[in-house]
Amino acid sequence: MSSKEELMKRLGIEIDSETFRLAFTHRSYSYENGGIPTNERLEFLGDSILGFCVAEYLYAKFPDLPEGDLAKRRAAIVSTRALAMIARDLEVGKHLLLGRGEAQSNGADKSSILADTMESILGATYLVQGMDAARAFVLRFVTPLLEDPRLLGATTDWKTVIQEVVASRKLGELRYQVTGSGPDHARTYLAVLHIDDKGYGEGHGPSKKEAEQEAAHQTWLQLNPGEQIPKN
């Protein structure tokens, strides 16, 4: 069994070779190969289908939730972070067609590229197999993330939450220590949250903001073991 067939088996879909290749063709590869078609049109289609299928699922699953809460749940599981998690679990990055520069900067593991590719795969599934297969894809891989501990509280502003906790408990002065590493085109950041002179949670991310949010989240977990994630 080829690697392509193995991936489609894990995805639970059947796509012809031409459409499969298109779904994995990043614009950087297209630029270096005569401007061949990219996966961006499939991504556009898949994004719309994803939003509809998740909204449909949430509407039926939570009949008593108001619109605002439904929107927050949808945002969490159709986010770049969520879709990239799925892609990494499925090892989608191995199949990407990337330009040399993007490949050298570890584009196969970039959350934005992986998330876009998941949407293009969904778009391809819809075109080849129809709406029922596309909906089944979403129900199999996306909606279960509502219970994934890696995404609980994904839409929470953790920096605000932890600032309020530290102030209310009079724990001391809060500050973030942030360091960057790597080349400019693939910069990553490490943030450590300190309260007075003690270090607490650490966070990593492609931006200072994301690293600080994760550090704040990890600090909240340390300060509140066993408690429920706060509601937005």
Q: Can 64 be counted among the known catalytic residues? A: no
| Residue 122 near residue 87 (C-beta atoms within 8 A) | no
Instruction: Please tell me whether 212 is known to bind a ligand.
Output: no
**Integer Cα distance of 156 and 72 in angstroms:** 9
89 marked as binding residue: no
Query: Is the pLDDT higher at 201 or at 76?
Result: 201
Give the distance, in angstroms, between the CA of residue 66 and the centroid of all CA atoms in the same chain: 25
Three-class SS state of 207? coil
pLDDT value at residue 150: 64
Residue 50: pLDDT above 90? Answer: yes
Highest mean pLDDT among 2-6, 39-43, 155-159, 187-191: 39-43
Task: Measure the CA–CA gap between 138 and 142, rounded to whole angstroms.
Answer: 5
Token representation of residue 232: 């937005």
47 flagged as catalytic: yes
The answer to the question of whether 132 is labelled as a binding residue is: no
What's CA 162's distance to the chain center, in Å? Answer: 23
**pLDDT, tens only, 145-174:** 888 766 655 556 788 889 989 999 999 999
One-character DSSP codes across 69-118: HHHHHHHHHSSHHHHHHHHHHHTGGGG-B--HHHHHTTGGG-HHHHHHHH
Instruction: Check 47, 102, 212, 214 and give the catalytic one.
Output: 47
Using the predicted structure, report yes or no on whether residue 211 has a pLDDT greater than 80: yes
Sheet holding 188-195, edge to edge: 174-181, 188-195, 198-205
Rounded to the nearest angstrom, the gap between the alpha carbon of residue 227 and the centroid of all alpha carbons in its chain is: 25
